[in-house]
Structure 1
Amino acid sequence: MATRRISDEAAFVLHRYDWSESSLILETFTRRHGRVALVAKGAKRPSSNFRPVLLPLQPLRLAFSAEGEIRTLKDAEWVGGQVMPTGDALLAGYYLNELLLRLLARDDPHPALFEHYAAAVQVLASEHGEALQPALRAFELLLLREVGVLPSLDVQTLAMAPLQAGETYGLVPEGGLVRTEPGEGRGALAATDWLALEQAMSQPAPFHATLREAARLSSALKPQLRNLLHYHCGVSSLRTRQLMVDLQAL
Protein backbone atom coordinates (compact mmCIF):
# COMPACT_ATOMS: atom_id res chain seq x y z
CA MET A 1 0.00 0.00 0.00
CA ALA A 2 1.36 3.41 -0.97
CA THR A 3 2.11 5.77 1.89
CA ARG A 4 -0.25 8.74 1.96
CA ARG A 5 1.58 12.01 1.32
CA ILE A 6 0.93 15.61 2.31
CA SER A 7 2.14 18.10 -0.30
CA ASP A 8 2.53 21.85 -0.72
CA GLU A 9 2.22 22.49 3.01
CA ALA A 10 3.16 25.99 4.24
CA ALA A 11 5.57 25.60 7.15
CA PHE A 12 8.38 26.99 9.28
CA VAL A 13 11.21 25.08 10.99
CA LEU A 14 11.05 25.67 14.75
CA HIS A 15 13.98 23.50 15.82
CA ARG A 16 16.35 20.89 14.39
CA TYR A 17 18.65 18.35 15.95
CA ASP A 18 20.87 15.48 14.85
CA TRP A 19 19.27 12.09 14.24
CA SER A 20 22.27 10.29 12.69
CA GLU A 21 25.54 11.19 11.02
CA SER A 22 23.67 12.38 7.94
CA SER A 23 20.07 13.10 8.99
CA LEU A 24 18.09 15.59 11.08
CA ILE A 25 14.92 15.59 13.12
CA LEU A 26 12.89 18.75 12.50
CA GLU A 27 10.19 20.29 14.64
CA THR A 28 8.02 22.23 12.18
CA PHE A 29 4.97 24.46 12.45
CA THR A 30 2.60 23.91 9.52
CA ARG A 31 -0.54 25.77 8.50
CA ARG A 32 -2.92 22.81 8.16
CA HIS A 33 -1.43 20.23 10.53
CA GLY A 34 0.05 22.24 13.40
CA ARG A 35 3.33 21.18 14.95
CA VAL A 36 4.78 18.21 13.08
CA ALA A 37 7.99 16.23 13.68
CA LEU A 38 9.86 15.20 10.53
CA VAL A 39 12.99 13.22 9.75
CA ALA A 40 15.05 14.79 6.96
CA LYS A 41 17.14 11.90 5.69
CA GLY A 42 20.56 12.86 4.39
CA ALA A 43 19.99 16.55 5.14
CA LYS A 44 23.49 16.97 6.62
CA ARG A 45 25.27 15.74 3.51
CA PRO A 46 26.99 18.53 1.52
CA SER A 47 25.15 17.42 -1.62
CA SER A 48 21.68 17.37 -0.03
CA ASN A 49 19.05 19.66 -1.55
CA PHE A 50 17.63 20.06 1.97
CA ARG A 51 20.83 21.52 3.43
CA PRO A 52 20.44 25.18 2.32
CA VAL A 53 16.64 25.22 2.74
CA LEU A 54 15.83 23.93 6.22
CA LEU A 55 16.47 27.15 8.11
CA PRO A 56 14.44 28.67 10.97
CA LEU A 57 12.32 31.79 10.48
CA GLN A 58 12.05 31.22 6.73
CA PRO A 59 8.76 30.42 4.93
CA LEU A 60 8.82 26.96 3.35
CA ARG A 61 6.65 24.59 1.34
CA LEU A 62 7.00 20.99 2.48
CA ALA A 63 5.92 17.55 1.35
CA PHE A 64 6.01 14.67 3.84
CA SER A 65 4.49 11.30 4.64
CA ALA A 66 1.19 11.46 6.51
CA GLU A 67 1.59 8.55 8.94
CA GLY A 68 3.63 8.01 12.09
CA GLU A 69 4.65 10.08 15.10
CA ILE A 70 7.70 11.27 13.17
CA ARG A 71 6.97 11.64 9.46
CA THR A 72 9.48 11.50 6.62
CA LEU A 73 10.28 14.72 4.77
CA LYS A 74 9.98 14.21 1.01
CA ASP A 75 10.53 17.69 -0.38
CA ALA A 76 11.26 21.21 0.86
CA GLU A 77 11.18 24.50 -1.04
CA TRP A 78 12.08 27.98 0.17
CA VAL A 79 9.22 30.36 -0.56
CA GLY A 80 11.37 33.48 -0.28
CA GLY A 81 10.17 37.01 0.22
CA GLN A 82 12.04 37.91 3.40
CA VAL A 83 15.56 37.96 4.77
CA MET A 84 16.81 36.11 7.82
CA PRO A 85 16.43 38.24 10.99
CA THR A 86 19.71 39.15 12.66
CA GLY A 87 20.87 40.28 16.09
CA ASP A 88 18.11 40.89 18.62
CA ALA A 89 15.46 40.06 16.02
CA LEU A 90 17.00 36.62 15.46
CA LEU A 91 16.96 35.90 19.21
CA ALA A 92 13.37 37.15 19.36
CA GLY A 93 12.47 34.68 16.60
CA TYR A 94 14.05 31.82 18.52
CA TYR A 95 12.01 32.95 21.53
CA LEU A 96 8.77 32.69 19.53
CA ASN A 97 9.84 29.22 18.39
CA GLU A 98 10.43 28.12 21.98
CA LEU A 99 6.98 29.31 22.98
CA LEU A 100 5.37 27.25 20.19
CA LEU A 101 7.38 24.16 21.11
CA ARG A 102 6.34 24.44 24.76
CA LEU A 103 2.68 25.38 24.35
CA LEU A 104 1.50 23.51 21.24
CA ALA A 105 0.83 19.78 21.16
CA ARG A 106 1.92 17.92 18.06
CA ASP A 107 -0.60 17.39 15.25
CA ASP A 108 -3.01 19.99 16.64
CA PRO A 109 -3.83 22.45 13.82
CA HIS A 110 -3.87 26.18 14.53
CA PRO A 111 -4.20 27.84 11.10
CA ALA A 112 -4.99 31.29 12.51
CA LEU A 113 -1.97 31.13 14.84
CA PHE A 114 0.19 30.10 11.88
CA GLU A 115 -0.79 33.34 10.13
CA HIS A 116 -0.02 35.36 13.29
CA TYR A 117 3.41 33.70 13.52
CA ALA A 118 4.16 34.38 9.85
CA ALA A 119 3.20 38.04 10.36
CA ALA A 120 5.40 38.30 13.46
CA VAL A 121 8.39 36.81 11.63
CA GLN A 122 7.89 39.34 8.82
CA VAL A 123 8.12 42.14 11.38
CA LEU A 124 11.30 40.64 12.86
CA ALA A 125 12.86 40.46 9.39
CA SER A 126 11.87 44.04 8.51
CA GLU A 127 14.80 45.68 10.36
CA HIS A 128 12.39 48.05 12.11
CA GLY A 129 13.84 47.62 15.58
CA GLU A 130 11.18 49.75 17.27
CA ALA A 131 8.55 47.18 16.27
CA LEU A 132 10.35 44.19 17.81
CA GLN A 133 8.98 44.36 21.35
CA PRO A 134 5.39 45.23 20.27
CA ALA A 135 5.50 42.29 17.83
CA LEU A 136 6.50 39.94 20.65
CA ARG A 137 3.74 41.22 22.92
CA ALA A 138 1.13 40.94 20.15
CA PHE A 139 2.13 37.37 19.36
CA GLU A 140 2.23 36.38 23.03
CA LEU A 141 -1.33 37.64 23.52
CA LEU A 142 -2.66 35.86 20.42
CA LEU A 143 -0.80 32.64 21.28
CA LEU A 144 -2.22 32.60 24.81
CA ARG A 145 -5.70 33.28 23.42
CA GLU A 146 -5.34 30.54 20.78
CA VAL A 147 -4.33 27.85 23.29
CA GLY A 148 -7.18 28.85 25.60
CA VAL A 149 -5.35 30.26 28.62
CA LEU A 150 -5.86 34.00 28.14
CA PRO A 151 -9.03 35.23 29.87
CA SER A 152 -11.40 37.73 28.31
CA LEU A 153 -9.88 41.16 28.74
CA ASP A 154 -13.18 43.03 28.95
CA VAL A 155 -14.36 41.59 32.31
CA GLN A 156 -12.93 40.82 35.74
CA THR A 157 -12.27 37.11 35.50
CA LEU A 158 -13.46 35.80 38.88
CA ALA A 159 -16.44 38.11 39.30
CA MET A 160 -17.34 38.26 35.57
CA ALA A 161 -18.08 41.95 36.18
CA PRO A 162 -17.40 44.67 33.58
CA LEU A 163 -14.20 46.66 33.91
CA GLN A 164 -14.74 50.03 35.52
CA ALA A 165 -13.52 53.27 33.94
CA GLY A 166 -10.75 54.86 35.98
CA GLU A 167 -9.69 51.56 37.58
CA THR A 168 -6.51 49.59 36.87
CA TYR A 169 -6.28 45.83 36.40
CA GLY A 170 -3.53 43.22 36.35
CA LEU A 171 -3.22 39.80 34.75
CA VAL A 172 -2.60 37.07 37.34
CA PRO A 173 -1.81 33.45 36.29
CA GLU A 174 -4.30 31.80 38.67
CA GLY A 175 -6.82 34.64 38.90
CA GLY A 176 -7.08 36.10 35.43
CA LEU A 177 -7.79 39.81 35.17
CA VAL A 178 -8.14 41.35 38.64
CA ARG A 179 -8.54 44.91 39.91
CA THR A 180 -5.43 46.46 41.45
CA GLU A 181 -4.92 49.36 43.82
CA PRO A 182 -2.89 52.35 42.59
CA GLY A 183 0.79 51.42 42.68
CA GLU A 184 -0.01 47.75 43.27
CA GLY A 185 1.27 45.19 40.79
CA ARG A 186 3.93 45.84 38.20
CA GLY A 187 2.56 46.88 34.83
CA ALA A 188 -1.13 47.08 35.70
CA LEU A 189 -3.13 48.67 32.87
CA ALA A 190 -6.13 50.95 32.81
CA ALA A 191 -9.51 49.44 31.99
CA THR A 192 -9.54 51.29 28.66
CA ASP A 193 -6.24 49.65 27.67
CA TRP A 194 -7.46 46.12 28.36
CA LEU A 195 -10.66 46.85 26.45
CA ALA A 196 -8.65 48.13 23.50
CA LEU A 197 -6.53 44.97 23.46
CA GLU A 198 -9.61 42.74 23.59
CA GLN A 199 -11.16 44.64 20.70
CA ALA A 200 -7.93 44.47 18.67
CA MET A 201 -7.74 40.69 19.02
CA SER A 202 -11.28 40.44 17.63
CA GLN A 203 -10.49 42.36 14.43
CA PRO A 204 -10.35 40.67 10.98
CA ALA A 205 -6.55 41.20 10.97
CA PRO A 206 -5.86 40.62 14.68
CA PHE A 207 -2.07 40.53 14.62
CA HIS A 208 -1.64 43.97 13.11
CA ALA A 209 -4.48 45.46 15.17
CA THR A 210 -2.96 44.04 18.37
CA LEU A 211 0.50 45.18 17.28
CA ARG A 212 -0.73 48.77 17.12
CA GLU A 213 -2.12 48.60 20.64
CA ALA A 214 0.94 46.77 21.96
CA ALA A 215 3.20 49.50 20.58
CA ARG A 216 1.96 51.90 23.28
CA LEU A 217 1.56 49.31 26.04
CA SER A 218 4.56 47.03 25.51
CA SER A 219 6.51 47.95 28.67
CA ALA A 220 3.52 47.43 30.97
CA LEU A 221 2.40 44.24 29.23
CA LYS A 222 5.80 42.54 29.28
CA PRO A 223 6.03 41.52 32.98
CA GLN A 224 2.41 40.37 33.11
CA LEU A 225 2.63 38.25 29.98
CA ARG A 226 5.99 36.88 31.11
CA ASN A 227 4.47 35.61 34.36
CA LEU A 228 1.53 34.05 32.51
CA LEU A 229 3.78 32.36 29.95
CA HIS A 230 6.17 31.00 32.56
CA TYR A 231 3.22 29.64 34.53
CA HIS A 232 1.74 27.76 31.56
CA CYS A 233 5.12 26.64 30.24
CA GLY A 234 5.96 25.26 33.69
CA VAL A 235 9.31 27.06 33.93
CA SER A 236 10.74 29.98 35.86
CA SER A 237 12.63 31.27 32.82
CA LEU A 238 12.57 30.41 29.14
CA ARG A 239 15.95 29.42 27.71
CA THR A 240 15.91 31.99 24.92
CA ARG A 241 14.91 34.80 27.28
CA GLN A 242 17.76 33.88 29.63
CA LEU A 243 20.15 33.85 26.66
CA MET A 244 19.06 37.41 25.78
CA VAL A 245 19.70 38.52 29.37
CA ASP A 246 23.13 36.84 29.43
CA LEU A 247 24.18 38.45 26.15
CA GLN A 248 23.10 41.89 27.34
CA ALA A 249 25.25 41.41 30.45
CA LEU A 250 28.43 40.76 28.46
Structure 2
Amino acid sequence: MARRISDEPGFVLHRYDWSESSLILEVFTREHGRVALVAKGAKRPSSNFRPVLLPLQPLHVAFGGDAEIRTLKGAEWVGGQVMPTGDALLAGFYLNELLLRLLARDDPHPQLFDAYADAVAVLASKHGDALEPALRSFELLLLREIGLLPALDLETATQAPLQPEERYALVPEAGVVRASPHETRPSLRGEQWIALQGALDQPGAFTAALALTAEALGELKPQLRALLNYHCGLGTLRTRQLMMDLQTL
Protein backbone atom coordinates (compact mmCIF):
# COMPACT_ATOMS: atom_id res chain seq x y z
CA MET A 1 0.00 0.00 0.00
CA ALA A 2 1.31 3.45 -0.93
CA ARG A 3 2.42 5.41 2.11
CA ARG A 4 0.97 8.86 2.81
CA ILE A 5 3.01 11.55 4.56
CA SER A 6 1.14 14.37 6.27
CA ASP A 7 2.05 17.69 7.90
CA GLU A 8 5.69 17.48 6.79
CA PRO A 9 7.80 20.70 7.00
CA GLY A 10 9.22 21.56 3.61
CA PHE A 11 10.47 24.18 1.15
CA VAL A 12 10.03 24.25 -2.63
CA LEU A 13 13.50 24.26 -4.20
CA HIS A 14 12.45 24.28 -7.86
CA ARG A 15 9.43 23.74 -10.08
CA TYR A 16 9.04 22.49 -13.64
CA ASP A 17 6.06 22.58 -16.00
CA TRP A 18 4.37 19.19 -16.42
CA SER A 19 1.44 19.17 -18.83
CA GLU A 20 -0.72 22.25 -19.37
CA SER A 21 -2.03 22.40 -15.82
CA SER A 22 0.43 20.63 -13.49
CA LEU A 23 3.91 21.08 -12.02
CA ILE A 24 6.77 18.86 -10.95
CA LEU A 25 8.28 20.13 -7.68
CA GLU A 26 11.63 19.51 -6.03
CA VAL A 27 10.86 19.87 -2.32
CA PHE A 28 13.31 19.78 0.59
CA THR A 29 11.55 18.15 3.56
CA ARG A 30 12.78 17.75 7.10
CA GLU A 31 12.23 14.02 7.64
CA HIS A 32 12.33 12.70 4.05
CA GLY A 33 15.03 14.80 2.42
CA ARG A 34 14.71 16.02 -1.15
CA VAL A 35 11.63 14.58 -2.84
CA ALA A 36 10.06 14.99 -6.27
CA LEU A 37 6.30 15.66 -6.25
CA VAL A 38 3.72 16.22 -8.94
CA ALA A 39 1.25 18.99 -8.14
CA LYS A 40 -1.74 18.15 -10.32
CA GLY A 41 -3.72 21.14 -11.54
CA ALA A 42 -1.41 23.60 -9.73
CA LYS A 43 -1.30 25.98 -12.71
CA ARG A 44 -5.06 26.39 -12.88
CA PRO A 45 -6.33 29.78 -11.61
CA SER A 46 -8.70 28.04 -9.20
CA SER A 47 -6.04 25.74 -7.67
CA ASN A 48 -5.39 26.04 -3.94
CA PHE A 49 -1.75 25.20 -4.69
CA ARG A 50 -1.20 28.20 -6.96
CA PRO A 51 -0.50 30.90 -4.30
CA VAL A 52 1.33 28.53 -1.94
CA LEU A 53 4.00 26.70 -3.94
CA LEU A 54 6.60 29.46 -3.82
CA PRO A 55 10.34 29.13 -3.15
CA LEU A 56 11.89 30.26 0.15
CA GLN A 57 8.58 30.00 1.99
CA PRO A 58 8.04 27.53 4.88
CA LEU A 59 5.32 25.00 4.11
CA HIS A 60 3.66 21.94 5.57
CA VAL A 61 3.07 19.42 2.79
CA ALA A 62 1.23 16.11 2.44
CA PHE A 63 2.15 13.62 -0.27
CA GLY A 64 1.79 9.97 -1.15
CA GLY A 65 2.65 7.27 -3.64
CA ASP A 66 5.45 4.76 -4.13
CA ALA A 67 6.82 5.94 -7.51
CA GLU A 68 9.97 8.04 -7.91
CA ILE A 69 7.75 11.09 -8.36
CA ARG A 70 5.05 11.09 -5.71
CA THR A 71 1.78 13.03 -5.65
CA LEU A 72 1.31 16.22 -3.69
CA LYS A 73 -1.90 15.93 -1.66
CA GLY A 74 -1.82 19.17 0.27
CA ALA A 75 0.32 22.25 0.94
CA GLU A 76 -0.14 24.93 3.59
CA TRP A 77 1.91 28.09 4.07
CA VAL A 78 3.29 28.21 7.62
CA GLY A 79 3.79 31.99 7.56
CA GLY A 80 6.10 34.00 9.75
CA GLN A 81 8.34 35.59 7.14
CA VAL A 82 8.14 37.53 3.89
CA MET A 83 9.70 36.63 0.56
CA PRO A 84 13.34 37.78 0.30
CA THR A 85 14.02 40.43 -2.35
CA GLY A 86 17.01 41.72 -4.32
CA ASP A 87 20.36 40.19 -3.43
CA ALA A 88 18.74 38.12 -0.68
CA LEU A 89 16.39 36.50 -3.22
CA LEU A 90 19.32 35.58 -5.48
CA ALA A 91 21.16 34.22 -2.45
CA GLY A 92 18.17 32.03 -1.65
CA PHE A 93 18.12 30.65 -5.19
CA TYR A 94 21.84 29.95 -4.79
CA LEU A 95 21.17 27.87 -1.66
CA ASN A 96 18.47 25.99 -3.55
CA GLU A 97 20.84 25.24 -6.42
CA LEU A 98 23.42 23.85 -3.99
CA LEU A 99 20.82 21.52 -2.47
CA LEU A 100 19.62 20.36 -5.89
CA ARG A 101 23.16 19.57 -7.04
CA LEU A 102 24.58 18.03 -3.89
CA LEU A 103 21.70 16.25 -2.11
CA ALA A 104 20.53 12.83 -3.25
CA ARG A 105 16.78 12.29 -3.30
CA ASP A 106 15.09 10.59 -0.35
CA ASP A 107 18.12 11.11 1.91
CA PRO A 108 16.95 12.83 5.13
CA HIS A 109 19.07 15.57 6.72
CA PRO A 110 16.99 17.06 9.57
CA GLN A 111 19.80 19.21 10.97
CA LEU A 112 20.60 20.58 7.53
CA PHE A 113 16.90 21.34 7.01
CA ASP A 114 16.88 23.35 10.25
CA ALA A 115 20.00 25.24 9.13
CA TYR A 116 18.35 25.98 5.77
CA ALA A 117 15.24 27.30 7.53
CA ASP A 118 17.47 29.52 9.69
CA ALA A 119 19.36 30.76 6.62
CA VAL A 120 16.14 31.62 4.77
CA ALA A 121 14.90 33.52 7.83
CA VAL A 122 18.12 35.58 7.77
CA LEU A 123 17.66 36.30 4.05
CA ALA A 124 14.11 37.53 4.71
CA SER A 125 15.16 39.73 7.63
CA LYS A 126 16.40 42.66 5.48
CA HIS A 127 19.74 42.75 7.34
CA GLY A 128 22.16 43.00 4.43
CA ASP A 129 25.28 42.66 6.55
CA ALA A 130 24.17 39.16 7.62
CA LEU A 131 23.75 37.89 4.05
CA GLU A 132 27.31 36.73 3.35
CA PRO A 133 27.88 35.16 6.80
CA ALA A 134 24.61 33.24 6.40
CA LEU A 135 25.72 31.85 3.04
CA ARG A 136 29.16 30.83 4.33
CA SER A 137 27.69 29.20 7.44
CA PHE A 138 25.21 27.20 5.38
CA GLU A 139 27.91 26.13 2.91
CA LEU A 140 30.00 24.77 5.78
CA LEU A 141 27.06 22.89 7.27
CA LEU A 142 26.00 21.48 3.90
CA LEU A 143 29.50 20.20 3.13
CA ARG A 144 29.83 18.72 6.61
CA GLU A 145 26.38 17.08 6.51
CA ILE A 146 27.05 15.23 3.25
CA GLY A 147 30.55 14.14 4.23
CA LEU A 148 32.57 16.48 2.01
CA LEU A 149 34.12 18.68 4.71
CA PRO A 150 37.20 17.42 6.55
CA ALA A 151 37.70 18.04 10.26
CA LEU A 152 38.70 21.70 10.44
CA ASP A 153 40.79 21.39 13.59
CA LEU A 154 43.20 18.78 12.15
CA GLU A 155 45.66 18.64 9.28
CA THR A 156 43.93 16.24 6.92
CA ALA A 157 47.01 14.31 5.76
CA THR A 158 48.57 13.72 9.18
CA GLN A 159 45.56 14.20 11.51
CA ALA A 160 47.80 16.43 13.63
CA PRO A 161 46.03 19.16 15.62
CA LEU A 162 46.28 22.64 14.11
CA GLN A 163 48.65 25.13 15.67
CA PRO A 164 46.64 28.24 16.63
CA GLU A 165 49.02 30.84 15.16
CA GLU A 166 49.94 28.94 11.98
CA ARG A 167 47.99 29.50 8.78
CA TYR A 168 46.13 26.71 6.96
CA ALA A 169 44.24 26.45 3.69
CA LEU A 170 41.22 24.31 2.80
CA VAL A 171 42.13 22.64 -0.51
CA PRO A 172 39.62 20.55 -2.53
CA GLU A 173 42.02 17.68 -3.28
CA ALA A 174 43.88 17.63 0.03
CA GLY A 175 41.69 18.99 2.83
CA VAL A 176 43.24 21.23 5.49
CA VAL A 177 46.91 21.87 4.70
CA ARG A 178 49.53 24.10 6.28
CA ALA A 179 50.16 27.25 4.25
CA SER A 180 53.77 28.25 3.60
CA PRO A 181 54.84 31.76 4.73
CA HIS A 182 55.14 33.02 1.14
CA GLU A 183 51.90 31.52 -0.16
CA THR A 184 49.34 33.87 -1.72
CA ARG A 185 46.29 31.59 -1.72
CA PRO A 186 43.58 32.31 0.88
CA SER A 187 44.08 30.78 4.31
CA LEU A 188 43.00 31.17 7.94
CA ARG A 189 44.86 30.98 11.22
CA GLY A 190 44.64 27.66 13.00
CA GLU A 191 42.65 29.22 15.84
CA GLN A 192 40.00 30.37 13.34
CA TRP A 193 39.60 26.88 11.87
CA ILE A 194 39.45 25.39 15.38
CA ALA A 195 36.74 27.87 16.39
CA LEU A 196 34.72 27.06 13.24
CA GLN A 197 34.92 23.35 13.99
CA GLY A 198 33.72 24.02 17.53
CA ALA A 199 30.76 26.01 16.19
CA LEU A 200 29.81 23.24 13.74
CA ASP A 201 29.80 20.72 16.59
CA GLN A 202 27.24 22.71 18.59
CA PRO A 203 23.48 21.90 18.45
CA GLY A 204 22.68 25.33 16.98
CA ALA A 205 25.56 25.18 14.53
CA PHE A 206 24.23 27.69 11.99
CA THR A 207 23.78 30.48 14.54
CA ALA A 208 27.04 29.61 16.30
CA ALA A 209 29.00 29.89 13.04
CA LEU A 210 27.55 33.25 11.92
CA ALA A 211 29.86 35.53 13.89
CA LEU A 212 32.92 33.44 13.03
CA THR A 213 32.21 33.42 9.30
CA ALA A 214 31.59 37.17 9.41
CA GLU A 215 35.09 37.71 10.82
CA ALA A 216 36.76 35.60 8.10
CA LEU A 217 34.65 36.37 5.00
CA GLY A 218 37.44 37.56 2.74
CA GLU A 219 39.59 34.46 3.21
CA LEU A 220 36.84 31.88 3.77
CA LYS A 221 34.65 32.62 0.74
CA PRO A 222 37.14 31.66 -2.03
CA GLN A 223 38.14 28.47 -0.20
CA LEU A 224 34.53 27.30 0.16
CA ARG A 225 33.77 28.34 -3.42
CA ALA A 226 36.64 26.21 -4.72
CA LEU A 227 35.53 23.22 -2.65
CA LEU A 228 31.90 23.51 -3.77
CA ASN A 229 32.84 23.90 -7.43
CA TYR A 230 35.10 20.86 -7.15
CA HIS A 231 32.30 18.66 -5.84
CA CYS A 232 29.59 20.14 -8.08
CA GLY A 233 31.78 19.56 -11.15
CA LEU A 234 31.22 23.10 -12.42
CA GLY A 235 33.28 26.20 -12.99
CA THR A 236 30.48 28.47 -11.78
CA LEU A 237 26.98 27.73 -10.49
CA ARG A 238 24.16 29.32 -12.50
CA THR A 239 22.94 31.54 -9.70
CA ARG A 240 26.48 32.72 -8.89
CA GLN A 241 27.03 33.61 -12.56
CA LEU A 242 23.74 35.53 -12.54
CA MET A 243 24.86 37.49 -9.48
CA MET A 244 28.15 38.39 -11.19
CA ASP A 245 26.36 39.43 -14.39
CA LEU A 246 24.00 41.70 -12.45
CA GLN A 247 26.92 43.28 -10.57
CA THR A 248 28.64 43.97 -13.92
CA LEU A 249 25.51 45.69 -15.25
Question: TM-score range, shorter-chain basis?
Answer: over 0.9
Aligned counterparts, 1:35-184, within 5 A: 35-184=34-183
1:187 is displaced (CA, Å) by 2.1
Q: Distance in 2 between matches of 1:88 and 1:182?
A: 36
Q: Name the Cα RMSD after superposition.
A: 0.9
Post-superposition offset of 1:183: 4.5
TM-score (structure 2 length as normaliser): 0.98
Question: How far apart are 1:66 and its partner, in Å?
Answer: 4.0
Greater alpha carbon shift after TM alignment, 178-187 vs 136-145:
178-187
Query: Is contact 1:230–1:236 with CA below 8 Å preserved after alignment?
Result: yes
Match for residue 215 of structure 1?
Answer: 214
Paired letter, 1:195 = I
Q: Which residue of 2 aligns with 1:19?
A: 18
Structure 2: which 5+ residue stretches go unaligned? none
What is the rounded CA distance, in whole Å, between the counterparts of 2:207 and 2:95 in structure 1? 17
2:226 is matched with 227
In 1, Cα distance between equivalents of 2:170 and 2:66: 41
Aligned-partner SS, 2:216: helix
Q: What letter corresponds to residue 74 of structure 1 in structure 2?
A: K
Deviates most, 158-167 or 188-197: 158-167
Q: State the SS of the aligned residue for 1:161.
A: coil
The answer (yes or no) to whether the contact 1:57–1:93 under 8 Å persists in 2 is: yes
Per-residue deviation at 1:204? 1.9
Q: Distance in 2 between matches of 1:76 and 1:40?
A: 10
Deviations along 1:158-195, whole A, 9 cap, x unmatched? 01111113210000001000000234143200000000
State the shift of 1:211 in Å.
1.0
Alignment match, 1:33: 32
Task: Please give the secondary structure, in 1, of the residue aligned with 2:7.
Answer: strand
The size of the alignment, in residue pairs, is 249
Counterpart residue type for residue 33 of structure 2: G
Aligned to 2:235: 236
Give SS of 1:26's match. Answer: strand
Report the AA paired with residue 34 of structure 1.
G
Is 1:170–1:185's contact at 8 Å kept on the other side of the alignment? no
Deviation string 1:110-143 (CA, Å, 9 cap, x unpaired) is 0010000000000000000000000000000000
Q: Distance between the aligned counterparts of 1:212 and 1:16, measured in 2?
A: 34
Worse overlay, 203-212 or 24-33: 203-212
Q: Distance in 1 between matches of 2:197 and 2:97?
A: 25
Amino acid at match of 2:213: A
Contact 1:10–1:31 (CA under 8 A) maintained in structure 2:
yes
Taking only the aligned residue pairs, the percentage that are identical comes to 72
- Deviating above 3 A after TM superposition, structure 1's stretches of 4 or more consecutive aligned residues are none
Following TM superposition, by how much is the alpha carbon of 1:92 offset from its aligned partner in structure 2, in angstroms? 0.1
The aligned amino acid for 1:27 is E
Shift of 1:68: 1.0
Distance 1:22 1:218, change over 3 A: same
2:203: which partner in 1? 204
Note if contact 1:64-1:72 (Cα within 8 Å) is conserved in structure 2. yes
Q: 1:81 to 1:183 in 2, by over 3 A?
A: farther
